[in-house]
Amino acid sequence: MSTPVRDGHPMVGEPRGRRISSWPAVASGTVVESRESIARRRRVGWIFAAVWSVYLIPPLQRACALDNAVSRVYTLAVIVAFGLTYIGSYWFLLRMPTTGPAWPSPPSRTIFPLLGVQLALLAAVAVTLHGEAVGLAIYLASFIAFTLPVRQAIPTLLGVMLVAAVVPQAIAGSEPDYATLQSMAMAAFAVGGIRQLIQRNQQLNVARQQLTDLAIAEERLRVGRDVHDILGHSLTVITVKTELAQRLLEIDPARAKQELADVERLVREALAGVRSTVGGLREVSLAGELVNARTALRAAEIEAELPESEELPARHSVVFGWVLREAVTNIVRHSGARHATVRVTPTSIEVSDDGSGFGEMGFGSGLSGLSERVRAIGGTLTVANRPEGGSRVLASFPAASMGDPK
């Protein structure tokens, strides 16, 4: 959990890096990529770069086998420069921020110069290794498939394959290496397929988040409408009757008293209406929150170890529910965890995960408010990073503590 925690419920809230300011912003799909998503995208990119770096070994071995010392040093230097350029290109592109649900596609004016530098270095290697340098073109194929949209990647890849076929023949008069050209096509196809899978997963996650945000916005509108309907009329009548009672105090005290009694009745009715409207937002129980937690963790593809409903203690059910709700919210939103565990005893509830833990910015207002709620009934809330990784939220109560907060 590298970001501060947030108030709210599971699958509710706003992760760092994105803000929903209005209904149109949600409906239009304008989403700023979260820091967690950017970090995940960079990790994927570095994995791609690292996997393909093994193909530098054969040309390095052939360069070491060159008889001429100058050619050997020259070739080794160019191959190393090629590898650094390749990895540096990923480093540069993956640090660029992106918006929207689509796969990040830096502008062509950024990608093609990097591709041109790699092509030039490939040609420089071909001066000494001749046709054997074509194997480096596999790097270009993977780079093209990883960074360019399909409509640009296909013609660009064909152009690079043509260069890879022509350069050895132009420099050394050797025949094109058709096996390498085939490997380039297969590498591009594989990387492109993986990219499509990642992109579809990104779009699915954004769609899920937008559905959640739309549901939140709709609920806020509903509550706003209900509160307006309940209070709008009541407050208007209360104002009129209060003004009337003030005027009647001296000339007709009995009538003024009746008007004030009506005001009191209207206030009580309005208060009851507001309580009824927001009641659904405050109804929390451990059993209900376990159902919500199971659903939220499953949707986030987090393996969950939860107690069965028959194992739940009746005492402290409400506050245990609040603890579980807040902890699961932070796990789903911020932790990047793959496994979460909930343990419940008659006097405690513990929620742990194997995610990234709490960052340097510490704990947010959600856990601070939860700590006050637990402390109000004599309990203690402990929030900390686990030594083995991840976080741990523990609410414990003495055996003699009574009741739950309302």
- 38-65 per-position pLDDT tens digit: 666 666 666 766 777 777 888 888 888 8
In this structure, the answer to whether residues 292 and 274 fall within a common structural domain is no
- Domain membership flag for residue 211: no
In this structure, the answer to whether residues 150 and 260 fall within a common structural domain is no
pLDDT tier at 339 (50, 70, 90 boundaries)? very high
In this structure, the answer to whether residues 233 and 160 fall within a common structural domain is no
Give me the numbers of helices (H) and strands (E) for the chain, helices first please.
12, 5
pLDDT tier at 133 (50, 70, 90 boundaries)? confident
Domains in the chain: how many in total? 3
- 29 Ramachandran zone, left/alpha/beta (phi>0; psi -120 to 50): left
243: containing domain: 218-282
Among the listed ranges 136-145, 160-169, 244-253, 380-389, which one has the minimum average pLDDT value?
160-169
Return phi, psi of residue 395, to 5°. Answer: -110, 125
- Domain membership flag for residue 303: yes
In this structure, the answer to whether residues 269 and 321 fall within a common structural domain is no
Q: Which residues pair with 348 in a beta bridge?
A: 345, 396
Residue whose pair of structure tokens reads 């592109």 in the numeric block: 93
Q: Which two tokens stand for residue 83?
A: 């590898």
- Domain membership flag for residue 292: yes
- Domain membership flag for residue 406: no
In this structure, the answer to whether residues 158 and 238 fall within a common structural domain is no
Side-by-side strand order, sheet with 391-396: 303-305, 339-345, 348-353, 391-396, 380-385
Quote the pLDDT of residue 342.
Answer: 93
Average pLDDT over residues 179-186: 79
In this structure, the answer to whether residues 195 and 227 fall within a common structural domain is no
Last-in-domain residue among 282, 312, 333: 282
- 175 DSSP 8-state letter: P
Residue 97 above 60 pLDDT?
no
In this structure, the answer to whether residues 61 and 131 fall within a common structural domain is yes
Residue 175 above 90 pLDDT?
no
In this structure, the answer to whether residues 263 and 329 fall within a common structural domain is no
In this structure, the answer to whether residues 173 and 195 fall within a common structural domain is yes
pLDDT top residue among 297 and 229: 297
In this structure, the answer to whether residues 375 and 291 fall within a common structural domain is yes
In this structure, the answer to whether residues 74 and 122 fall within a common structural domain is yes
Residue 107 above 80 pLDDT?
no
- Among residues 49, 206, 205, 229, which one has the least CA distance to residue 139? 49
In this structure, the answer to whether residues 262 and 290 fall within a common structural domain is no
Last-in-domain residue among 228, 256, 282: 282
pLDDT, mean over the chain: 74
Q: How far, in Å, CA of 24 to CA of 255, rounded?
A: 51
Residue 350 above 90 pLDDT?
yes
Residue 351 above 70 pLDDT?
yes
- Domain membership flag for residue 12: no
pTM of the entire predicted model: 0.45
